[in-house]
Structure 1
């Protein structure tokens, strides 16, 4: 009987403090089930790194040189198939909310034990969301309130093409599954899937797959695309 070896989780690290980055590189490099894909000290360096495109999970600090990295999450999510996990020293819950609404799959505080970070990487890679329950409830309330105050949903939904509705249905069915799983189900490439998602995010005014999933579930869009 041939034993199948599970592929390690490829992790790319982004932090502008080199001492912190050094420690994270060694933590991930020695962790079971994980492999260091690479590291960067800025968004520009991340985007320029060929290794980043091979990552399964991108662990990124919110504050990069005084700039909020969550402003770049939409670009990262449309360019990469990796999931984004925020590692931050900030205690500002508003910043945590913005990060998740921008597409991050989880938030870990730097003061937490290292095993929490490693567990979060594993869970995010598996498709789960790593945030505390209070924050999840708060985010859902924010989304509900924001959508009620926004322009009529029916007008935005009406702009979707049949294929885009089909893509949303697959996102709902497969929840936090990898892009490859959703693309295979739809019979398209991951690149084409990312293009569809970018158009959908723009039309529905959502930021990332988590917000799209919540938006579609609330409005039963996923049940249409069967």
Structure 2
């Protein structure tokens, strides 16, 4: 089921220009087959990363975005990067990573649709996204509503960088060197970050806690699962 405006329509004769980012070809081929039957939707470019897609064109209305990409980018930064160019996003996912869904939602994605959804639902989500309208599935809503750590913590760009660098294994000294500030300043930033999370009921007593919060809020990508040998 999709929660959206079923009466979503565009200007007569308007073609919604669609891009797609997925590092596997099969989903792209599937979307090509679905959209080629729609008079108002055109898949004009695809790439394995947002960077690769934007190198081809920025003249897009909406991008169908896979949540987990091999380049290590987060859904949050990809959605935000496209939004800066006036391009909406529809997340296309198998749905097994609620943390990544929350990351994309907090960045302002216009839609979430499962890869197992039927053709009508996929087309409806893409069309709504291309018109700047939200289309959020009940699966997405359940992932958000069931999150015990729902309260997101908003950090300034500088605090985001400190958290990402430190939680990835950096020290106060190395983070300070990277950002051009003193270790004492980094420690002060870390105190602010910990306080913000404490105020939101999401304590960060250890460095591992900081890493978990950075992943939950989209400042760091979810770590890769080890592949079975």
Q: What is the TM-score of this pair, normalised by structure 2?
A: 0.53
Q: Please name the residue that 2:110 is paired with.
A: 105
Structure 1 vs Structure 2 CA RMSD: 2.8
1:118 equivalenced with 2:123 (yes/no): yes
CA displacement at 1:94 relative to structure 2? 2.3
1:128 equivalenced with 2:133 (yes/no): yes
1:73 equivalenced with 2:79 (yes/no): yes
Whether the 8 Å CA contact 1:14–1:41 is kept in 2: the answer is: yes
CA-to-aligned-CA distance 1:132-152 (integer Å, 9 cap, x gap): 35755847x9998446xx79x
CA displacement at 1:46 relative to structure 2? 1.2
Q: Please name the residue that 2:18 is paired with.
A: 11
Q: Please name the residue that 2:61 is paired with.
A: 56
Larger CA Rg, structure 1 vs 2 = 2
Q: CA separation of 1:113/1:73 partners in 2, compared to 1, >3 Å: closer, same or farther? A: same
Number of matched pairs: 142
CA displacement at 1:37 relative to structure 2? 1.8
Could you say which structure has the greater relative contact order, defined with CA pairs below 8 angstroms and 6 or more residues apart? 2
Q: CA separation of 1:146/1:86 partners in 2, compared to 1, >3 Å: closer, same or farther? A: closer
CA distance in 2 between partners of 1:28 and 1:47 (Å): 20
Q: Which runs of 5+ in 2 are unaligned?
A: 1-10, 156-229
Q: Please name the residue that 1:34 is paired with.
A: 41
CA distance in 2 between partners of 1:27 and 1:92 (Å): 25
Q: Which runs of 5+ in 1 are unaligned?
A: 152-226
